[in-house]
Amino acid sequence: MLFSTSAANDVTVLRIEGELDAVSVTDIRASLNTIAEGKPARVEVDLSALRLIDSSGVGAIVSLFKAVRAYGGSLTTTGVRGQPLAIFRLLRLDRVLIA
Amino acid sequence: MKGCIIVRLEVPGVIQYRDIMLRTLSATCKLITPGARSSRASLFSAHLVSAVGEAYNNIALHGYAGRETGTIRMEIEQGSDWIRVVLEDTGASFDPAGARPPDLDALPESGLGVFIMRSFVDEVTYVPGPPNVLTLFKRLDEPREASPNFRRRGPAQRV
């Protein structure tokens, strides 16, 4: 899994590539916490290069979503397709996380 | 229903070997899905890989937690339009039938694995061990709504 963040005009973009699963989720948790602590008005999670996600990865994204929502910000995901989209639809996350 | 066993794989029961299992399964899915680029074939693979991935997580992260790590054996049996995956381990037994369905409206951050596993295959059977034997069966058919289907054989032990 690779990830990167960029910030401009109170918008933080988080791009995640590869697999976000029980193996890799520990690598990204600290960065998710850092994003939430910065309290940007808007967080955009670019998942267009995400190949696979599991329940652990979903938990990390939902956790960030809740943290952002708690301070009044917004979080959306973009580019969700393939297996991650199947998971999002099953868990009804497409209704709240997909722009 | 009998098919032919095309893959047997055994790995140490730790999370780092998950990707090997799932990539092997994903490659196998392509063998029974004509027109592998079709959305139907992609969905079949996505669902089965997701279900087996969650099963693997449960064994590696919970079944072998606090005890000597054994192995996870995967056997993939293929029919003309179906795949059966059998996972065996010697960790603590975990009966997936005992897991409560999550409240999706509450946006849970955990407790989703068994729900995903049960939702994305047509049949789940579990026989507590040792060895514990979890069987997931999925037929290539039209996409279906999440409706966990579970069948248990033998006495179950929930941990």
Mean pLDDT, residues B49-62 taken together: 97
Instruction: Note the pLDDT of residue B112.
Output: 97
* Residue A64: closest C-alpha in chain B: B109
Class of domain A2-97: alpha beta
pLDDT in tens, B29-47: 988 866 655 788 889 999 9
- CB contact, 8 Å: B54 with chain A? yes
Q: Which two tokens stand for residue B100?
A: 């409560």
Residue B148 has pLDDT above 80, yes or no: no
- CB contact, 8 Å: B113 with chain A? yes
Residue B114 has pLDDT above 70, yes or no: yes
Instruction: Note the pLDDT of residue B36.
Output: 53
- Contact yes or no for B18 and A55 at CB 8 A: no
pLDDT in tens, B60-111: 999 999 999 999 999 999 988 899 999 999 999 988 888 889 999 999 999 9
Nearest to B95 by CA among B148, B155, B13, B157: B157
Mean pLDDT, residues B117-141 taken together: 95
Residues in chain A: 99
Burial of B139 (0-12, 13-18, 19+ CB in 10 A): middle
Residue B154 has pLDDT above 80, yes or no: no
Instruction: Note the pLDDT of residue B23.
Output: 95
Question: Looking at beta carbons, which residues of chain B come within 8 Å of A65?
Answer: 107
Contact B71, B10 (CB under 8 A): yes
pLDDT in tens, chain A (99 residues): 999 999 998 999 999 999 999 999 999 999 999 999 999 999 999 999 999 999 999 999 999 999 999 999 999 999 999 999 999 999 999 999 987
What fold does the segment set B4-152 form as a domain? Heat Shock Protein 90 (3.30.565)
Report CA dihedral (B119, B18, A47, B144) to the nearest 10 degrees. Answer: -20
Measured distance CA(B146)–CA(B144) in Å, rounded: 6
Residues 6+ apart with CB under 8 A from A7: A13, A38, A40
- Contact yes or no for A59 and B104 at CB 8 A: no
What kind and span of H or E run contains B18? helix B18-32
Distance from CA of B79 to the nearest CA of A (A): 23
Look-up of token digits 């997931």: B136
Per DSSP, B70 falls in state -
Contact A67, A34 (CB under 8 A): no
Measured distance CA(B76)–CA(B86) in Å, rounded: 7
The letter for the amino acid at B156 is A
Interface predicted TM-score (ipTM) of this complex, two decimals: 0.93
Say whether pTM exceeds 0.95: no
Lowest mean pLDDT among B112-121, B126-135, B136-145: B136-145
Residue B155 has pLDDT above 50, yes or no: no
Q: Which two tokens stand for residue B52?
A: 């087996």
Measured distance CA(A71)–CA(B25) in Å, rounded: 42
